[in-house]
Structure 1
Amino acid sequence: MDLNNRKILLTGAGSGIGRALALELAQYSPHLALVGRRSEPLEEVAALVREKGGQAVIIPADLTADGAPAQVVAEAQNELDGIDMLINNAGNVRAGRLEAIEESEVLAQIALNLTAPILLTRAALPALRASGDGLVVNVSSGFGLLGMAFYTVYGATKAGIAHFGEALRRELYGEGVHVLNVFPGATDTPMMESSEAEAEHGFDYESPQDVARAAVAGMVGDELNVVRGESMGETLELNRQDPAALDRTLAQGKDELEKVVAGHSSL
């Protein structure tokens, strides 16, 4: 896919992987609509994009509000005069035992990680079709491929958006809109600041810049999936071949993992 001068709607653009994606895409002189809850970080990212030769507008919005996804798409389409790419990156997390998570925290994760990107994509499809070479990018998670204790709801939403992307890719096959799923591993972003999990707990952090570079390479290469995480391949293979063995292995560190992720929340 040729990324030059593309009209791109990017959610969660104010920090972390979204910010890194905006700056990585800036080399292609894009027209970016940057979406996030707060104006100030979006303005900072927009200024950096312009310095690198791209164009950028900001759309402050709460994507979980009633009608917000359709309104954001309409505003982006108006500002950019079309949409060629939609990058569903915005997300949140609340870790911990399922019965310790409040109902509102369950619903908040579902609303932003799953419902919002589905509704954004639904609203953007006419514009993506009209572009003739449209692309939807869903930023899932390694926990969307591998169920992990204490990330039950988060993992469910990330598996859901990945499955949505795979199904949509097949639904749109041959119709001028491609779908790419990106599965970051543990990434050094503000969303992870409240977690105490480290490498000894299986969290090998990489930079959001590395994730962004891999994602953009996947866009250029028309890939179906981009999977990050140094040990993810081996763990996924074990989970396929002998999931009970992986259960036993993970159980050895379960008590310690519960302690270090108990306060992990970006809500």
Structure 2
Amino acid sequence: MNLNGKRALVTGGSSGIGLEIARELLIAGAIVGITGRRQGAVDQALRQLEGQGPIRGLSADVTTSEGRARTLELAAESLGGLDVLVNNAGGVRAGRLEAITEDEIRQMVEVNLTGPILLTRAALSLLKESGDGLVVNVSSGIALVGMAFYSPYAAVKAGIAHFGEVLRRELDGEGVRVLTVYPTATETPMMATSGMGRDGGRETPSDVAREIVEAMTQDRLEVVRGGPARLEMVKQNRTDPQAVDEALRPIKAAMEDGARDHSAL
């Protein structure tokens, strides 16, 4: 895909990976809209992106019908249509399953899975009108290798990945493609309360976003971050999952400690 002049919408675009995706899209010549739940954060992001290209933004919550309607209104009216939809908005609550409340589980399902599916469904008419449409679903590396103390989050991130796989096949030959992204731990506001990867094991949002936008231009099907070691772990998890269990067992206590206070909903 040649992104020059393409109309792109990024949910969760006010910070972290979403903000950097918006920046990279502007660099590539796209017309960009961003949404986020908090108007103040959206306004701050717009100020950061000002002067880098045509950028619009508003406050909208993808978990509500009103928020999804406002998101698509931004695309139709302010962008003039839609070529690229980036489902990036997300939230997490980690810890032992019995310590996570029902409300927190439902919030994770809504923001990471139900909301993006319903937004994509509503956006398909605009994407099909484009004739060269693209849906980008930001999943997580945890969808490929499940990590203890992240069970609901891993479930919904695996769900959005498989949603994208099925949708790609459903829309084959109809002018809309699908790209699925699997980031590893990244230095974003969502990771602020996590104890995982604080010793330099986190990637930068700009590095992740740069590969995502590059993958858009190359018509790739997926982006798996983490380098060769991560790819090998993904492969081993498919062929010998018990070996992964054994490798993770010695750090189980440290993982629980790092995940216990991880909350960004």
Instruction: Tell me which residue corresponds to 1:2.
Output: 2
Instruction: Tell me which residue corresponds to 1:22.
Output: 22
Aligned counterparts of 1:45 and 1:61: Cα–Cα separation in 2: 14
Q: CA RMSD in A?
A: 1.4
1:124-143 to structure 2, matched below 5 A, reads: 124-143=123-142
Instruction: Tell me which residue corresponds to 1:249.
Output: 247
1:146-161 to structure 2, matched below 5 A, reads: 146-161=145-160
Instruction: Tell me which residue corresponds to 1:78.
Output: 77
Instruction: Tell me which residue corresponds to 2:55.
Output: 56
Identical residues among aligned pairs (%): 49
Question: 1:45-70 deviations in whole A, cap 9, x for unaligned?
Answer: 22333311x11111201221244323
1:68 aligns with 2:53: no
Aligned counterparts of 1:172 and 1:70: Cα–Cα separation in 2: 23
**AA aligned opposite 2:32:** L
**Is this contact kept in 1: 2:185–2:197, CA < 8 A?**
no
Gaps of 5+ in 1: none
Instruction: Tell me which residue corresponds to 1:42.
Output: 42
Aligned counterparts of 2:113 and 2:237: Cα–Cα separation in 1: 24
1:229 aligns with 2:191: no
Question: CA separation of 1:55/1:157 partners in 2, compared to 1, >3 Å: closer, same or farther?
Answer: same
**Is this contact kept in 2: 1:204–1:229, CA < 8 A?**
no
1:158-197 to structure 2, matched below 5 A, reads: 158-197=157-196
**Is this contact kept in 2: 1:23–1:48, CA < 8 A?**
no
Instruction: Tell me which residue corresponds to 2:102.
Output: 103
Gaps of 5+ in 2: none
**Is this contact kept in 2: 1:165–1:181, CA < 8 A?**
yes
Aligned counterparts of 1:235 and 1:245: Cα–Cα separation in 2: 10
Instruction: Tell me which residue corresponds to 2:201.
Output: 204
How many equivalent pairs are there?
A: 264
Moved over 4 A (4+): none
Aligned counterparts of 1:47 and 1:199: Cα–Cα separation in 2: 29
Greater shift in the superposed pair: 136-145 or 249-258:
249-258
TM-score (norm: length of structure 2)? 0.96
Aligned counterparts of 2:221 and 2:40: Cα–Cα separation in 1: 34
Question: 1:138-188 deviations in whole A, cap 9, x for unaligned?
Answer: 000000111111110000111000000010001001110010001101101
- Out of 235, 238, 252, the position equivalent to 2:236 is 238
Greater shift in the superposed pair: 54-63 or 17-26:
54-63
TM-score (norm: length of structure 1)? 0.95
Aligned counterparts of 1:188 and 1:22: Cα–Cα separation in 2: 17
